[in-house]
Amino acid sequence: MSRGIYIIANDKVTDQAIALLNSIRLHDQDTPIIMIPYDDNYHQIAELLNQHYGVQLYADLDFIDRLSRKLHELFGNQFFARPNQFRKQACWFGPFDEFLYIDTDIVVFEKIINNLNYLAESDFICCDYQHLGGIKNVFTSKVLEEKVFTETEVQDIFNGGFWGARKNIISENDLYTTFSECAAHPEYFDFSEKTSDQPIINYMLLKRIPRRFNIVRRPGKAPGNWGGSPQFQTQGNILFDPTVNQPLQYLHWAGIRIQPGCPYWEIWEHYRNLNSALPAANIPAPVKPNQWQKTLNHIKQQLRKLKI
């Protein structure tokens, strides 16, 4: 049985990918990692990640393009301007029997592939507290009102930046059927904050994968992992969650621009610069808005509230 990790990237996220790979390889030199190109601008990062971390390119690039375009056509242009968001669905059809998918705006603090051991009793794993925020950014209240899902079922929604699964539980036809169902009922989904394909993959999880497990529900619970959580404590080059008295497994800057001054910037910078063979990151600090920009931003906010 083969295990591995998929990431999706292009040249634009080179710094983030380096930080992620540095953190993975710090704990695990051997697990194979495959990169799915986000778009056609991937050649520089593919070469760099292969040279320094042994990352391989997804073998069938034509399949990725065909799959993502087909899924985009099924759902239409109403919510997705480009088919790129759907490329991660190629994970289901790669070489690994069991796999993790990890977004590049993550760093890990352990041998992360070991979380696939939870697949001994499930077919799909995730590890986050997304469900505590309710169905926002995933579904609208319609899914409950029309009994598409129960209150219990929506407790299994998850963040699409980190998850794992068995290879054969979703077929290509399952994907097409799921996307067709979603396209027929756009009122079920909350795309208000442009959460990429997260609503759709959650729909597919709840409809088609009954044996699922969120690692935060293990005995003793699990630490948080969102970069916007203020309670984490720095201990060396890892973070500690005092609410469960455990070190973090990983940190995900979901919805946060990684730059000087962002939450846990020093942690990210440490992992980005671990590899002395690569130049240090040169990410400029954000420019503080002047008074005119502040006034303009305030006016824009007021107009949005008035829906003008």
Q: How many structural domains are present in the chain?
A: 1
In this structure, what is the dihedral angle of CA atoms 265, 269, 271, 273, given to the nearest 10 degrees? 180
**Structural domain contains residue 291:** no
pLDDT at 191 over 70: yes
- Residue 210 lies inside a defined structural domain of this protein: yes
> Which pLDDT score is estimated for 71?
87
- Residue 306 lies inside a defined structural domain of this protein: no
User: Is residue 166 included in any domain, yes or no?
Assistant: yes
> Which domain covers residue 179, as residue numbers?
3-272
Gap between the Cα atoms of 226 and 241, Å rounded: 11
What is the pLDDT averaged over residues 3-30?
98
Q: Is residue 163 part of a domain?
A: yes
Give burial (CB, 10 Å; 0-12/13-18/19+) of 155: middle
Q: Is residue 279 part of a domain?
A: no
Report residue 192's pLDDT band, with 50, 70 and 90 as the boundaries.
confident
| 287 within a domain of the structure (yes/no) | no
**CATH label of the domain that carries residue 194:** 3.90.550.10
Alpha-helix runs per DSSP H in 7-133:
14-27, 43-53, 61-75
C-beta atoms surrounding 178 within 10 Å? 21
Tokens of 232: 């984490």
pLDDT at 137: 84
What confidence category does residue 288 fall into, taking pLDDT thresholds of 50, 70 and 90? Answer: confident
For the cut 60, the answer to whether the pLDDT of residue 246 exceeds it is: yes
- Looking at residue 209, its pLDDT comes to 97
Q: Is the pLDDT of residue 306 over 60?
A: no
Q: What residues form DSSP beta bridges with 250?
A: 108
Q: Which pLDDT tens digit goes with each residue over 101-121? A: 999 999 999 999 999 999 999
Tell me the pLDDT tens digit for each residue of 111-165: 999 999 999 999 999 999 999 989 988 999 999 999 999 999 999 999 999 999 9
Mean pLDDT over the full length of the chain? 92
Q: Classify residue 296: in a domain, yes or no.
A: no
pLDDT exceeds 80 at position 302: no
Is this structure's pTM higher than 0.85? Answer: yes
CA–CA gap between residue 45 and residue 57 (Å, rounded): 10
Tell me if 206 sits within 8 A of 182, measured CB to CB: no
CA dihedral (179, 180, 182, 186) positive or negative: positive
